[in-house]
Amino acid sequence: MANEKNMSCARVQTYSSAKIGACERHVERKNKDYGNVNVEPYRIPMNVHFKDPGEKSYMDILREMEASGEISRKGLRADAVLFDEVIFDVNTMYFEDHGGYEYAKKFYEEAYHYACEKYGERNIISAVMHADEINLAASEDLDRAVYHYHMHLIAMPVVDKEVRYSKRCKDPALVGTVKEVIHQISHSKKWASTEPMYDDRGKQIFRANGKQKYRASYSVLQDEFYQHMTEHGFTGFARGMKGSPVEHLSSLQYQIKKDTERLHEIEQKKQEAELAYEPAKELHKTYLEIDKAGKKSPVTGKYSVSKEDYEQLTALAKEGISSRGEINRLQESERYYRGLYYDVQNALSNLQRKYDKLVEKCKPFLDALESFPEVVHRFLDNLKGLFSNKEAEEKAERERMRREYYARNRYRDDLDR
C-alpha cells in the first residue's frame, strides 16, 4: 500500500543556451561553492551517472549533434529553449525505509529507462543521481546522517518535423509532399497537451469558445512516471498531489522554508507544554477544608484528624508531590524548546542573510544575461581557456577522493569477510 507521506515528483525546468551553464555546473558538481548549503563535497564521488557527458559541455554535445544532422535548431530564436532539466524525486524517508543508497541507485536507474522512452536515449545528455545532499531535519530526527537522493536529467526536447516541398519546387508533382523529416528541438511541441480533460461525471470539458480543454502535460508526466515505476516493482509511495500549486523552490529557499516550519512546530509544542498543567478543581474549597481539619489537644499539643480528613489530606499530599514533578518537567521542557527556538531562529536568520547576499551578488550577472545573452556567452567562452588547467586539477582531486573512498570501502568489506 502506498504511503501518502512519500510522494513522487517529476518536474521540468527549461534552459536556453545562455542559461544552461549554471545548471550544468550544479548538476555535474563543477562549482567550488553551492547555493545548496547541504551539499557535502566529500560525498560527490558517490553521485551516480546513468548517462555521463564526459569532458564535453552540454552545448558542445548539442553543437556536435547539430553538425552531424542528428538534430536541428532551424527557425529557433536565439533565446529559445534548448534543454529540459527533469528532476525525479521521492521523499527522503522512502529510500531510508527501503535500503538507502543501494535502493536509490536501482530506483533512479529505472527512472532513467523511463526518461529514455520519453526523450530517446540519444537526446539525453546527462542523468545523475545526487547522493551528496544531507537532509538536516531527517538526520536530526534519526540521530544519524541521512541523505536526500534525487536525479537530475538533462535532455533535448526533440520532435520529428516533416519538411515539405514548397511551390517553388521545379517539379509540380512534388509540391506539398514530404521532402525530409528532421529532428527539431522544440519544447512547446514536445510538451503539447494532447490528453482531453473530463469532469467527475466523465464528460469532456470544453472552453468558453467551444474548444477542447486538455490536461497539463506535466500532470501527465507525473502519472506516467508513477505508473512506470510501480509497474517495474517500485512501490510504497504515492503519486505527487494532483493540482498542487506548489512550485519548485531553490535549495536555499527550501531549507529556509523547512526551518520556518520547524520553528513553528517548536512554538506550538512550547505552548502545549505551558497549558499541560491545570490546578486541581475547586482548590479554594480544599484550602478551607484543610484549615478546618484536625483538632489540637490542649494537653499534648498534638493534632488528631478523622479518618475522612486523613484520607483527603494524604491524597492532596500525593497530588502535590506529583504536580511538583510535573511542573519541574514542564519547566525543563520549556527551557529545552526555548533553546531550540533560538537555535532555529538564528539558523533561519543566517540562511536568509546568505540567500539575500546570493541574490544581490547574482543580480548584475542575471541582468546582463537577460539583456545581452550573446555577449555574456562569448565572454564565458573566452574565460574557458583561462580556467581549463584549474578545472583539470579539480577533476584530478575529485578522482583522487573517489578512489580513496572506494579503497576504504573495499578495505572495510575485506574486514567484514
- Read off the pLDDT band of 111 (50, 70, 90): very high
Instruction: Note the pLDDT of residue 359.
Output: 78
Tell me the average pLDDT across 232-260.
62
**Do the bridges between strand 295-296 and strand 178-185 make them parallel or antiparallel, or are there none, so unpaired?**
unpaired
Q: Picking from 162-166, 346-350, 389-393, which range would have the lowest pLDDT averaged per residue?
A: 389-393
Instruction: Note the pLDDT of residue 391.
Output: 66
Dihedral angle sign, alpha carbons of residues 380, 383, 388, 393:
negative
pTM: 0.58
Instruction: Note the pLDDT of residue 109.
Output: 96
The alpha-carbon radius of gyration of the chain (Å, integer) is: 32
- Read off the pLDDT band of 231 (50, 70, 90): very high
- The pLDDT mean for the chain works out to 79
Instruction: Note the pLDDT of residue 208.
Output: 79
Neighbours of 414 (CB within 10 A): 8
In the predicted structure, residue 154 carries a pLDDT above the cut 90: yes
**Which residues sit opposite 124 in a β-bridge?**
155
Tell me the average pLDDT across 172-197.
84
The span from the CA of 366 to the CA of 376, in Å, is 10
Instruction: Note the pLDDT of residue 287.
Output: 59
Q: Give the model confidence (pLDDT) of 270-297 as tens digits.
A: 666 555 444 444 444 455 666 667 776 7
Helix 307-371 to helix 373-416 angle (10° resolution) is 130
The span from the CA of 95 to the CA of 79, in Å, is 38
Cell readout for 142 is: 534519526
Kindly report each contact of residues 408-414 with a partner whose C-beta sits within 8 Å and lies 24 or more positions away, as own/partner. Answer: none
Helix (H) or strand (E) holding 378: helix 373-416
DSSP 8-class letter at 80: -
In the predicted structure, residue 410 carries a pLDDT above the cut 60: no
Instruction: Note the pLDDT of residue 258.
Output: 61
**Integer angstrom CA distances of residue 342 from 257, 269, 302:** 16, 14, 54
In the predicted structure, residue 25 carries a pLDDT above the cut 90: yes
- Residue 266 CA, chain-centre distance (Å), reads 23
Contact, 147 vs 136, CB < 8 A?
no
Instruction: Note the pLDDT of residue 272.
Output: 60
- DSSP codes, 202-237: SPBPB-TTS-B-B--HHHHHHHHHHHHHHHTT--SE
Between 97 and 307, the higher pLDDT residue: 97
Between 299 and 411, the higher pLDDT residue: 299
The span from the CA of 91 to the CA of 88, in Å, is 11
In the predicted structure, residue 123 carries a pLDDT above the cut 90: yes
The span from the CA of 244 to the CA of 213, in Å, is 19
In the predicted structure, residue 158 carries a pLDDT above the cut 70: yes
Contact, 158 vs 120, CB < 8 A?
yes
In the predicted structure, residue 377 carries a pLDDT above the cut 60: yes
Between 242 and 75, the higher pLDDT residue: 75
Cell readout for 235 is: 512501490
The span from the CA of 387 to the CA of 381, in Å, is 11
Instruction: Note the pLDDT of residue 415.
Output: 46
Contact, 129 vs 48, CB < 8 A?
yes
Instruction: Note the pLDDT of residue 343.
Output: 72
In total, the chain counts a number of residues equal to 417
Instruction: Note the pLDDT of residue 195.
Output: 77
The span from the CA of 125 to the CA of 66, in Å, is 14
Q: Picking from 14-18, 215-219, 242-246, which range would have the lowest pLDDT averaged per residue?
A: 242-246
In the predicted structure, residue 248 carries a pLDDT above the cut 50: no
In the predicted structure, residue 318 carries a pLDDT above the cut 90: no
Q: Give the model confidence (pLDDT) of 46-99 as tens digits.
A: 999 999 999 999 999 999 999 999 999 988 898 999 999 999 999 899 999 999
- Read off the pLDDT band of 174 (50, 70, 90): confident
- CA proximity to 157, closest of 196, 189, 114, 128: 189
Contact, 288 vs 297, CB < 8 A?
no
**Do the bridges between strand 83-90 and strand 303-304 make them parallel or antiparallel, or are there none, so unpaired?**
unpaired
Instruction: Give exposure, 235-271, as e/b (b: 16+ Cβ within 10 Å).
Output: eebbbbeeeeeeeeeebbeebbebbeebbeebeebbe
Instruction: Note the pLDDT of residue 280.
Output: 46
Instruction: Note the pLDDT of residue 250.
Output: 45
First-to-last CA distance in the chain?
A: 37
- DSSP codes, 288-346: HHHHHS-EE-TTT--EE--HHHHHHHHHHHHHHHHHHHHHHHHHHHHHHHHHHHHHHHH
